Homo-oligomer: A and B are copies of this chain.
Amino acid sequence: MKVVKFGGSSLANARQLEKVKNIMASDPTRRIAVVSAPGKRFDSDTKVTDLLIELASQCLNGSADTLQTFKEIIERYASIAEELSIEEPIIEEITRSLSELLDMDKSVPGYFIDAVKASGEDNNAKLIAAYFRKAGLKARYINPKEAGLILSDEPGQAKVLAESYLNLYALRNYEEILVFPGFFGYTRKGRLVTFSRGGSDITGAIVANGVEAAMYENFTDVDSIFVANPKIVQNPVGISHLTYREMRELSYAGFSVLHDEALYPAFAEGIPVVVKNTNNPSAPGTVICEERPEGSDPFAITGIASQKGFASIYISKYMMNREVGFVRRVLSVFESFNLSIEHVVSGIDDIDVIFKEDQLSGNEIEHLLSEIKHQTAADQVVKCDNLCLLMVVGESMKSRVGITAKIASALSKASINLEMINQGSSENSLMFGIKEDQEEYAVRAVYNAFFQEDPR
């Protein structure tokens, strides 16, 4: 059986929902649809989830605009229901349940906010189940509490608890297509809590794991995952197969189609994840799997990602390499500032520590620098801003000599100076530190070298 997840843009209006219905109807092994809240119908539109967050905040602050936002949300469901001519009294039910929700105890704002946010997915699942039935499918809404999706007691950032997988296995027994709302579950004490933002992907992956699905299909609005960011490269090549490890490396460096952590529950069970397009379901999409089938992608690298917003701190001290524990002491200072470190590049007498810049304010930076200087008696401690990490990813890189040369040549021809290079022995990826203002040139240079000039 397949678990199928539909994102917000696939569920934004009646026309999109009809495509979703056809996708479910066309393959009898598609047994469970995990759904998001209605997304944007057009560029300037507001996602229902964003309206709900506003509503929750207005309620907590006692704002006068609460009713207006409430109506706007109901209107989104109502317009879909009307377009689809759903006869069940679904809008009445949604109105009543959202209204009840707003009266709930607000003493712990986190629970209140989570409950209001999650209603977007929950009500949409009810609406979609009703639509499926009207369209002649055997379908039913299932609530995550009923399904046994048990999460840790961390509002807004809950994690799945292992017992959920056993509970979810029972979903195999339903005869109907199940419409399962994404994004939330319940604590052991029965309180509704949500995953972090974008959490419908993770619900799908957890359900796929629990029911031991043969495949987890993730429907979005693109034909495939591309080898490079389409905002930087025009009409980039699509990826036919991607391994979990490549996905993770690419996702890390700014690939935004799917978040690898959300897919982990599927990866952990070896379930292939297929990224497909609701608007073009016959396109093969991108398969994310444990091992790439022989010959499935003809290129030497799998993808190119880049991400801005990094900074590095450069520390030099004569004879650093003779001091047992030097690097450890540097990292302890970072830890005492609760800073996540992205990379460490070490020389003989110097070391660069790379981290996401937004973790620190200007004042803290000064404090960090002086603390490092104090703790290590370094000769020099300098911060370097506006760093972009360029990540070239591909598991087949390790078996090919000359990939580094080819990338470095392409960047050199494009006059891009390499601030840093980092390649470890896993060789699934090569990281280059470049200046932020050279990001687009760098991505295009590498893209052209591997996907245009010499596609071997």
Contacts and interface: CB of A to CB of B under 8 A. Distances in A.
Interface of A: 248-249, 252, 261, 264, 312, 314, 316, 318-319, 321-322, 324-325, 327-328, 331-332, 334-335, 338-352, 384, 401-402, 404-406, 408-409, 411-413, 415-431, 433
A424 B324 contact: no
A31 B328 CA distance: 46
30 contacts: A248-B349, A249-B348, A252-B321, A264-B318, A312-B425, A314-B426, A321-B340, A322-B340, A324-B339, A327-B344, A328-B335, A342-B348, A343-B346, A344-B346, A347-B424, A347-B426, A347-B428, A348-B429, A350-B424, A384-B425, A401-B415, A402-B408, A402-B413, A404-B412, A405-B411, A408-B408, A409-B409, A419-B427, A421-B422, A421-B423
A343 to B, nearest CB: 5
A227 to B, nearest CB: 19
Contacts of A252: 321, 348
Contacts of A430: 421
Nearest to A411: B405
Contacts of A319: 261
A216 B348 CA distance: 25
A67 B38 CA distance: 98
Given A325-B331, A347-B429, A314 B412 contact: no
Contacts of A339: 324
Nearest to A252: B348
Contacts of A404: 408, 412, 418, 421
Nearest to A414: B401
Given A321-B340, A321-B342, A352 B405 contact: no
Residue in A335, A384, A405 with the greatest tally of chain B CB atoms within 10 Å: A405
Contacts of A384: 425
A318 B248 CA distance: 9
A352 B427 CA distance: 11
A347 B408 contact: no
A301 to B, nearest CB: 15
Given A328-B328, A404-B408, A421-B422, 10 more contacts: A248-B349, A328-B331, A341-B346, A344-B346, A344-B351, A345-B346, A348-B429, A402-B409, A404-B418, A405-B408
Contacts of A417: 401
B429 A416 contact: no
Contact of A348 (B248, B312, B406): B248
A341 B326 CA distance: 9
B424 A314 contact: yes
